[in-house]
């Protein structure tokens, strides 16, 4: 049989690192042994390495509020980074000890929180609405290509003027604009009028849709479309500016694609001006 004293012989039953840190910070808060309490003669006699280490109340507040496990506003940082910073802060108040924590928090904000915020702000429609808008864009793009092929080869090569190559340009322009906005998770028409559909957590209210949520599955899907669902005006000025930027980028991208498509077909020898008649 192993005695309880033998189990704790290696220090396994000692307090955890976070507990020691809490006691350490509390000791400084209750009795801050600061070098400012020493006189000039004492500072001259006592070596620097043996003087009591002082820490500002602001740094203690930062440790208790953001770094200690279970604190009021504990940061989402790896335990190794946190323990290393707390260990170093026991010996020195150099701000460089907090640099790894600041870099990790900045990386989380940049790569996770900010991207999700932008995606949520740009995504103004439901999945069904975006699918319908994107499908409409694909249909217009294919229809524009079909119109161009009909102008080129029906009823025969050289039957139409070269100017008729610009007929599918509006369809390509609008179609690609819808596709580009849909790829960014937003509905082009809602962006155009600075509107948005209810967010997922705003759909707990049955009045958010014109069709009751007690309907069958098909009606639930239809009720989430843009023409049936309730729409809100985007009030944030910066978010509206971002949405207008997406609209302009989509329109410019659609115009560039449509112009390139027309230039691709307009120089083909299938028009009246390019066909030699015998």
pLDDT in tens, 218-238: 676 676 776 677 888 888 888
Q: What is the Cα–Cα distance from 92 to 82, expressed in whole angstroms?
A: 15
Helix (H, G, I), strand (E, B) or coil at 59: helix
What is the reported pLDDT for 213?
A: 44
Average model confidence (pLDDT) across the chain? 78
* Intra-chain end-to-end CA distance of the chain, in Å: 112
Weakest mean pLDDT among 3-7, 122-126, 185-189: 3-7
The stretch 151-164 carries a mean pLDDT of: 90
Beta bridge partners of 25: none
Tens-digit pLDDT profile for residues 158-167: 889 989 999 9
The closest alpha carbon to 124, from 223, 221, 191, belongs to 191
pTM of the model: 0.60
Take residue 211 and report the two structure tokens written for it.
């069709």
**Top-ranked range on mean pLDDT: pick from 81-85, 138-142, 188-192, 230-234:** 138-142
Q: What is the mean pLDDT of residues 25-47?
A: 44
Separation of alpha carbons 278 and 274, rounded Å:
13
In the prediction, which pLDDT does 23 show? 55
- Phi and psi dihedrals of 4, rounded to 5? -60, -30
pLDDT level of residue 46 (50, 70, 90 thresholds): very low
Element (H, E) at 232: strand 232-233
- Cα(67)–Cα(65) distance, rounded to whole angstroms? 6
Task: Indicate whether 9 pLDDT > 90.
Answer: no
- pLDDT of 56 higher than 50: yes
Q: Which two tokens stand for residue 66?
A: 């953001």
Q: Quick one: angle between helices 169-183 and 237-266, nearest 10? A: 140
Q: Taking the CA atoms of the chain, what radius of gyration do you get in angstroms?
A: 34
pLDDT at 191 over 60: yes
Beta bridge mates, 209: 229
Q: Is the pLDDT of residue 68 over 50?
A: yes
**How far is the CA of 80 from the CAs of 14, 16, 121, in angstroms?**
19, 14, 34
* pLDDT for residue 92 is more than 60: yes
In whole angstroms, give the CA distance from residue 193 to residue 247.
10
What is the b/e burial string over 167-189, where b = at least 16 CB atoms within 10 angstroms of the residue's CB?
ebbebbbbbbbbbbbbebebbbb
Q: Compute the 3-state secondary structure of the chain and give helix, strand, coil in percent, each to the nearest 5.
A: 65, 0, 35
Comparing 109 with 262, which gets the higher pLDDT? 262
Which whole number is the average pLDDT over 129-139?
Answer: 93
- Using a pLDDT cut of 70, give the percent of the chain over it: 71
More confident position, 11 or 220: 220
List, for residues 192-208, the tens digit of each pLDDT value: 888 888 877 777 654 44
**Whose structure tokens read 């007690």?**
214
């Amino acid at each position: 049989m192993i005695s309880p004293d033998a189990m704790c012989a290696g220090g396994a039953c000692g307090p955890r690192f976070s507990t020691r840190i809490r006691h350490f910070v509390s000791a400084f808060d209750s009795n801050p042994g600061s070098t400012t309490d020493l006189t000039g003669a004492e500072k001259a006699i006592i070596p620097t390495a043996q003087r009591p280490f002082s820490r500002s109340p602001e740094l203690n507040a930062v440790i208790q509020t953001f770094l200690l496990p279970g604190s009021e506003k504990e940061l989402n940082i790896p335990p190794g980074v946190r323990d290393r910073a707390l260990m170093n802060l026991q010996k020195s108040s150099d701000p460089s000890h907090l640099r790894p924590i600041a870099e990790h928090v900045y990386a989380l904000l940049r790569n996770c929180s900010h991207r999700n915020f932008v995606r949520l702000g740009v995504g103004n429609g439901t999945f069904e609405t975006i699918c319908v808008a994107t499908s409409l864009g694909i249909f217009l793009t294919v229809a524009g290509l079909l119109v161009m092929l009909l102008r080129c080869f029906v009823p025969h090569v050289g039957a139409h003027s070269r100017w008729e190559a610009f007929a599918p340009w509006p369809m390509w322009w609008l179609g690609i604009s819808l596709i580009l906005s849909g790829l960014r998770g937003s509905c082009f028409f809602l962006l155009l009028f600075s509107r948005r559909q209810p967010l997922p957590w705003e759909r707990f209210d049955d009045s958010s849709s014109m069709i009751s949520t007690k309907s069958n599955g098909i009606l639930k899907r239809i009720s989430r479309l843009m023409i049936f669902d309730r729409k809100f005006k985007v009030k944030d000025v910066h978010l509206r500016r971002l949405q207008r930027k997406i609209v302009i980028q989509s329109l410019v991208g659609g115009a560039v694609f449509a112009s390139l498509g027309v230039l691709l077909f307009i120089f083909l020898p299938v028009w009246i001006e390019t066909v030699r008649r015998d």
